Amino acid sequence: MDGQLDVVPLAGTTVCGDAATAADAIAVEHLSLLGAHRRPGGPLRVDDVDVHTDWTDPTGRLLDEVTAQAALGLMATHGRASGGPVRLGVNYVSTVAGVVVAQGALAAVLARLRGQRPGSVRVSVAGAALLTVSQYLAAGSARDTDDTGEVSGPGMPPPFTSLDGVVFEVETLDPEPWRRWWTALGAAPGDTARGWRAFVLRYATAAAPIPPALHEITRRRPFAQLCASAQAAGVAVQQVRGLSARRADAGPDGRFRAPWQISAGAPAGALSDLPAGRLPLYGVRVIEAGRRIQGPLAGHVLRLLGAEVTRVEPVGGDPLRGMPPMVGDCSARFLALNRGKRIVEVDLRSASGRSTVRNLVDDSDVFLHNWAPGKAAEIGLDSTDFTTSNPGLVYAYASGWGDERGTDAPPGTDFVAQAYTGLGEQLRPVGVPPAGSLMTLLDVLGGLVCAEGVLAALVTRQRDGRGQRVDSSLLSAAGVLQGPLPAARPVWGRWDTPTPVADGHIMLAAGSDVMAAETALGDAGTLTAREAVSRLEAVGVRAVRVCPEPGELAGDPIALDLIEADGCAFVRPPWRFTS
């Protein structure tokens, strides 16, 4: 990765130790990009703080990338649209855990700068993995499950395919352009309406049963015609790119730009001292104006680290608050990322509403948002608008594309970004048609990367006494997940994917002795998951039961101490700081 930092948050800091896992390697790389000096050898340390990456679950069982995906609900979520668990062909758990480890290290550095001396930070990889499925965990464990909000019926998710074989994603955040487009293409009103509901809910449900008739319509028309009609209707189109096209975006080493751009602002004071026994961000005031997942998750992470987060919502509240299933009067999915935040409702179209937000930001330490490009400047809430009134502000913008695509780019949303970055070829093995995931991979990782950048900026403010601006994007998050790009798509054998058993599936750890597994299992389809795992363990082969639905983790010992129940299951902080 090439650095994009005008400041060096970790100048003078030393990262010691060997990166024993892919997660540690990412954490060390990010801390190095932020200016830390690398010194190999021994366990991982940041100056005098021990950093432990814990790959065991609460039962003491050792996990790896694939068993973590299986046991903690990621395979179930990724495969929901296809009717069964599907392995992610990228090291998603390791990548997320690496960013979370870096967050913990940065938080410990900040705590030290604020007068405390944490001796260690321990990061649960299982806890980090659960953060990625937190909205699905909350929805699946809600007591009120009579109405889940999900769409049923025959259908298949995007992407769509044209007559001339072009595979593409579409995006619109408004039902009217959707209706105009499909009406112009001759779709029946009923199919258009059902398709919209499935399409708009795909972010929340990880499924999108688009009526087959709509897919058939696109297959009968050339791509150029579909693009022209979509543009006329106000619908964005993004062709699904492959890895060969994505390589053109990378550097000579196959890596991408640093995941954040951080620049210094005006001189200002430091944060207050940190009282003993408090979390690293105690006393830090955050204003978050986020939509969907990326922005809210960034605010959520900062809150888990001790910040006081105030969320700006439209008058009447965020519409997603009403998405079933409900916990009391609020959506379980919404609460998974927004529980514990103070809420302020404002009309940003009015001068008084904008003034309210400005006053909130003027009295805060961090302002983060993921608005559409240009909106902040249009309404007078860009970083330069606070240079005089709040020079110490850490201003964070979590965008879709950053500055890497032009003004004619489609909306920078998760599934469009997946299509652009060629993730479909990495997620699925050779022999399976490439396709993105309806699990919001980049929204989640983008939110985590944004929070990581904010932590680095807070460290810099504490050291240098200057405000900071942090820019990150879904595209930069994709670069973290994809770099360095592989030479080819994954190739998997029988035991590299979930194995069917009598009551579900099991997943073997990577690198398992497949001959021993075959001998131990015999006809696996006649065994329960418990029996199969027990037989494998008896011959020294590690395996786990594949979680069939994230909501079931609420009662599973594998998630004990990693979640808490309050009307539904919520994920606890994945870090533990000790003095």
Q: H-type helices in 90-188, by residue range?
A: 92-113, 125-132, 134-141, 175-184
Q: What b/e string do you get for 477-508 counting C-beta neighbours within 10 Å, with b at 16 or more?
A: bbbbbbbebeeebbeeeebbbbbebeebbbbb
Give Cβ neighbours of residue 86 (< 8 Å, ≥ 6 apart): 75, 78, 79, 497, 498
CA 272 to mean position of chain CA atoms:
31
Among 152, 157, 155, 52, which Cα is nearest to 104's?
Answer: 52
Q: What b/e string do you get for 9-47 counting C-beta neighbours within 10 Å, with b at 16 or more?
A: bbeebebbbebebbbbebbbbbbbbbbbeeeeeeebbbe
The first and second tokens of residue 473, run together, are 């994007």
In whole angstroms, give the CA distance from residue 64 to residue 490.
Answer: 17
Q: Kindly state the helix (H) or strand (E) to which residue 237 belongs, with its residue range.
A: strand 236-239
Gap between the terminal Cα atoms of the chain:
33
CA 567 to mean position of chain CA atoms:
24
Task: State the angle between helix axes of 92-113 and 22-33 in degrees (0 to 180), rounded to the nearest 10.
Answer: 50
In whole angstroms, give the CA distance from residue 99 to residue 441.
Answer: 14
- 3-state helix vs strand vs coil in the chain, percent to 5: 40, 15, 40
> Which residue out of 57, 64, 443, 496 is catalytically annotated?
443
Residue 54 designated active-site: no
Catalytic residue set: 443
